[in-house]
Chains A and B, each alone.
Chain A
Amino acid sequence: MSFSGLLLKRLLLSVVTLWLLSLIVFAGAQLLPGDVGRAILGPLADARAVANLNHQLGADRPLVVQYLDWIGHFVIGDMSMSYTFRSPVAPFIINAMLNSLKLAAVAFALVVPLGIGGGVWAALHVGRPLDRLISVIGLSATVLPEFVTGIVLIMIFGVWLDWLPITATAPADADPLTQIYYLLLPSLPLVFVLFGYIARMARAGTIEALDADYTRTAVLKGLPRRTVLWRHVLRNALLPTITVIATQMGYLIGGLVVVEVLFHYEGIGSLIYIAARGKDFPMLEAGILSIGIVYTFATLAADLLYSALNPRIRFGAVE
């Protein structure tokens, strides 16, 4: 199969996956107790007022009608109106998605070099105290929940030392550097969560590659250590790590509710959380599908990168 044919197949599969996802979200949202009118007006509101509001919003229509109406608009690029905010969903999603991507990018830029560097360093010093230290630190940091590390970091750097801003949201007109400055503190809990994971993968991969026959051959034929490392060891060792990093994209984009709430950041995670609580179905669907899309593309990109690095599975190479 040609590269473009494979890409097309993967894209079609993604569309089917996303459609299934939208069905699951819709069905799941129906299982949540309560309705949108009640969520807006509160438990003590008059039943007539609640029924009126549900009718105004169209939330009292049959489920199939609601779903078809929504997906009919979604496929032509219209995300519909939010039930809760009574305004178009799209600006909320775009703004939140951009924010989430910024935070993910900063966290990514910090954790990937640190994780890979730490892992490779540990692999090159297997069994020595430094290796143990990196493994122990990585493992401990991974098991600490973000809200614990987040609060500790805020207390140290935000309140006591007063070095970094407590909220992740920079002033509206801030330049990119200022925005990164505001995102440093909120990125750290994510770095903690992911560092151990990435470092362990990198370490395991490197150790395996160092033991491989081709590495021995490369060393024996007299290549300098640096060349052996870069050209032969790392290129092979980091393949699984790339897959791992790609699968973390979903978490980095959509799974940061706790960090977003704690650092007061308008990301897609907290948007979805609030939409689910408010029974705001159009917002919920659009939010989850956007994460689904990012996740799908991240996985696809990882596969492409993987194949670029690994000639054995390079597309078309088999035929």
Chain B
Amino acid sequence: MKKNDKFIDSVRRRSSELDNHIIDEFAAGHIDRRAFLRHGSIIGMSLPLLGGLAGAFGSSLWLPSTARAATPGGTIRVATTVPAAAIDPVTVADGGGLLMLQQTGEFLAISGPDLILKPVLAESWKPNQDGSVWTFKIRQGVKFHNGKTMTAADVVATFDRLADPANSSNALSAFSGVLSKGNTKKVDDYTVEFHLDAPNGNFPYYVCSDNYNTIIIPADYAGDFEKNFVGTGPFKLDKYTPKVGASFVRNDDYWGPKALPDRTEFTFYADMQPQVLALQGHQVDIINQLPAISGVALLNDPNVNIMSLKSSAHTQIHMRNDQAPFTDKRVRQAVALCIDRKKLIKGLFKDRADIGNDSPFAPVFPSTDKNVKQRHQDIAKAKELMAAAGMPNGFKVKLTTEKYLEIPEYAQVIQQAVKAIGIDMELNVESQDAYYGKAVYGQSDWLDSVMGGTDYGHRGVPNVTLAAPLKSDGTWNGAHFKNKDYDTLVGQYIGALDLQSQRGTAGKIQELLLDETPILWTYFYDFLTATTKKVSGVRATAMAQLFLENASIKS
């Protein structure tokens, strides 16, 4: 015990005020071990150090596993959705495409299964006092697959390219208001500074695997990634055939431990059903992403392993705050009270989802205030609210939504549920193209409909989901929710550097949204990956990335 105290003291002496704050929080029991690891990793404390501290405080150690499986060699075969377009780190916007990027490309850091940041091409990072400048130390001795050495210049070019409005960058919407072109600065060959548009306590998440376009590629990139897949990762390109598949082989010049498999093969599928059949028929070993609703056949198959990751992926049901009948918040609350969330999760996801409490704060986020009371089904209360709002007999309304995964079924559940308070709901399920339209106000059913259902993918921090769909000037604000107090709170949350103040603000935001109910959040569903029993050592992220360097297969 004495030895531990000594260790803690020595760490404290070397640590910044911010680091010590986190250590205090953990020592006092305000945050649990997982939150300690995760939050410490955001502000740039190293994982071994955090693990050591966790151990010193008597908490068992968990680190992202680097344990190596026994048998190197072999070929791992993966089924995945066909990439929607050319593979270009600047433009890729879909699951199939981002999976390809990350097979040869690497990020500054990876957001792992517990949303803990693990350094990859960055060795460490630190914010300044207010979180407006973040300094990243870049790993030395890393070579691109074309033989060139990676330096800070490549990192700067990668982020400038993505933050440039003239570049068709898919990451532009994530970077707008956060990082502008020209504000990523090289300090020396292995140090980079990000000068942000506004203080941001979660900035490392914007340059990690969560922002899937940010694989580091050479500064002289000419837009031809698909030809050579030049990255820095443990695998390099063997062959890529658009619409058909891709294969990769071990990179023997890799800077870290060499990959175990000799080779990986990806087959592209246009639909889910053939992937399920291919796994059952032993033609592939892994299905990268298995939506619960189309993968029911595999969920209970004794020959299949299901890897389940908690995520923040969800569907938002917005109600237009500026249009009848939803101008009165009591009506919006009443709708929210009609839904039996537990039953919904069982039905749509076979229980593989977390319950939502009508705010973007998913249970998976450490900053989520779990003391905020969960909203449950309460028809009597809903009827009271409807009567108080002057609509005891309900009304007619149309719910417009997209044909995507479980959403049409979800819409039907809502339609049935609100009958209890006299709401006669008409469903309008459109193709995704028709629903999103031009994706600007006035030319999009998504942003214009009085009530709409929209899918949102996983994100490692709630920053984007707090801002774009809810802030007064948000670009995805289908609910047309405008609330000054809310805008201020979100600004505070995004700028907050330490977890305790993030959580304090989160609690206020959660209460505010629960009261206003501009949008329904009823579930956050798990990310599922299916493998045969022969495969082990596979790591996935809820972002649909798949890391196979530690994978092995029994012959």
Residue ranges of A at the interface with B (Cβ–Cβ < 8 Å):
32-34, 37-50, 52-53, 56, 84-87, 92, 151, 154-155, 158-159, 162, 165-167, 169, 261-264, 266, 270-271, 273-274, 277-278
| Nearest chain B CB to A211 CB, angstrom units | 48
Q: Which residue of the partner chain A has the closest CB to B437?
A: A33
- Measured between alpha carbons, how far is A47 from B447 in the docked complex, in Å? 14
Q: A298 to nearest B CB, angstroms? A: 26
Q: Which chain B residue lies CB-closest to A169? A: B244
User: Can you give 7 A-B contacts (C-beta < 8 A)?
Assistant: A39-B85, A41-B91, A41-B168, A42-B93, A43-B439, A44-B468, A45-B173
Q: Is the CB of B278 within 8 A of A40?
A: no
Q: Which residue of B lies closest to A51 (CB)?
A: B168
Q: Which residue in chain B gives the minimum CB-CB distance to A84?
A: B85
Q: Is B438 an interface residue (CB 8 A)?
A: yes
The residue from B84, B167, B277, B431 contacting A158, defined by CB atoms under 8 A apart: B277
- If A45-B173, A53-B91, A266-B243 touch, whether A38 touches B283 (CB-CB below 8 Å) is no
> For residue B243, which residues in chain A have a CB less than 8 angstroms away from its CB?
85, 92, 266, 271, 274
- Inter-chain contact A33/B431, CB cutoff 8 Å: yes
Residue of chain B at shortest CB distance from A263? B274
Q: Any chain A CB within 8 A of the CB of B428?
A: no
A168 smallest CB distance to B (angstroms): 10
B15 within 8 A of A: no
A37-B168 in contact (CB<8A): yes
Contact B433 A261 (CB under 8 A): no
Chain A binding surface SS class: helix
Confirm or deny: B111 has a beta carbon within 8 angstroms of a beta carbon on chain A: no
Q: Is the CB of B277 within 8 A of A56?
A: no
Residues of A within 8 A of B468 (CB): 44
**Interface residues of B, dominant DSSP:** loop
Asked whether, in the complex, the Cβ of B173 is within 8 Å of the Cβ of A44, the reply is yes
How many A-B pairs fall under 8 Å by CB? Answer: 129
Of A38, A158, A273, A274, the contact of B438 (CB 8 Å cutoff)? A38
Min CB distance, A68 to chain B, in Å?
Answer: 25
Could you tell me the distance between the alpha carbons of A261 and B267 in the complex, rounded to whole angstroms?
Answer: 13
Q: How far is the CB of B428 from chain A (nearest CB, A)?
A: 14
Give the chain B neighbours of A158 by CB distance below 8 A.
Answer: 277, 281
Taking CB atoms, residues of chain A closer than 8 Å to B271 are 261-262
- What are the residues of chain A within 8 A of B242 when measuring CB–CB? 85, 87, 92
User: Is B176 part of the contact surface with A, judged by Cβ < 8 Å?
Assistant: yes
CA A193 – CA B322 in complex, angstroms?
53
User: Is the Cβ of A49 less than 8 Å from the Cβ of B244?
Assistant: no
Measured CB to CB, the nearest residue on chain A to B402 is A43
Which B residues between 250 and 288 are near A, CB-CB below 8 angstroms? 267, 269-271, 273-274, 277-278, 280-281, 283
A39 CA / B431 CA spacing, docked (Å): 12
A108 to B492, CA, bound (A): 68
Q: Which residues of B contact A45 (CB under 8 A)?
A: 93, 170, 172-173, 439
Minimum-distance CB pairs A-B, first 9: A43-B436, A53-B168, A42-B93, A46-B172, A34-B433, A166-B281, A46-B173, A86-B86, A52-B168
> What is the 8 Å Cβ interface bit string for chain B, positions 435-446, against chain A (1 contact, 0 not)?
011111000001
Whether B28 sits at the interface, judged by CB under 8 Å, is no
Q: Smallest Cβ distance from A155 to chain B, in angstroms?
A: 8
Decide: B277 and A40 in contact? CB cutoff 8 A. Answer: no
Residue with the highest number of chain B CB atoms closer than 10 Å, among A37, A43, A159, A262: A43
Q: Is B189 part of the contact surface with A, judged by Cβ < 8 Å?
A: no
> Out of B170, B280, B437, B446, which one reaches A49, CB within 8 Å?
B170
Kindly identify which residue among A46, A169, A278 contacts B84, using a CB–CB cutoff of 8 Å. Answer: A278
Q: Which residue of B lies closest to A258 (CB)?
A: B271
Chain A: CB-nearest residue to B227: A87
Which of chain A's residues has its CB closest to B244's CB? A266
Roughly how many angstroms separate A155 CA and B244 CA in the complex, as a whole number?
A: 23
Q: A278: which B residues are within 8 A, CB to CB?
A: 84-85
Chain B residues lying within 8 Å of A162, measured Cβ to Cβ, are 281
A84 touches B91 (CB 8 A): no
Residues of chain B lying within 8 A (CB to CB) of residue A32: 433
A154 to B167, CA, bound (A): 45
Question: In the bound complex, what is the Cα–Cα distance between A171 and B432 (angstroms)?
Answer: 35
Is B18 engaged at the interface, CB distance under 8 Å to the other chain? no
Distance in Å from the Cβ of A83 to the closest Cβ of chain B?
9
In the complex, are the beta carbons of A85 and B438 less than 8 A apart?
no
B210 to chain A, nearest CB (A): 14
B438 partner residues in chain A, CB cutoff 8 A: 34, 38
Bound-state CA distance A50–B270 (Å) is 24
Q: How near does chain B come to A20, taking the closest CB pair, in angstroms?
A: 26
Within the complex, what minimum Cβ distance (angstroms) separates B88 from chain A?
A: 8
Q: How far is the CA of A162 from the CA of B282 in the complex (A)?
A: 10
List of B residues within 8 angstroms of A155 by Cβ? 277
> How far, in whole Å, are A226 and B397 apart by their CA atoms in the complex?
73
B476 interface residue per 8 A CB criterion? yes
In Å, the complex CA distance between A167 and B476 comes to 41
Q: Which of B227-245 contact A (CB under 8 A)?
A: 242-244
Kindly state whether residue B169 has any CB partner on chain A within 8 Å.
Answer: yes
Bound Cα distance from A160 to B166, whole angstroms: 54
- A154 to B105 CA separation, bound complex (whole angstroms): 37
Given A49-B169, A84-B85: A261 and B274 interface contact (C-beta under 8 Å)? yes
- B295 near A: Cβ within 8 Å? no
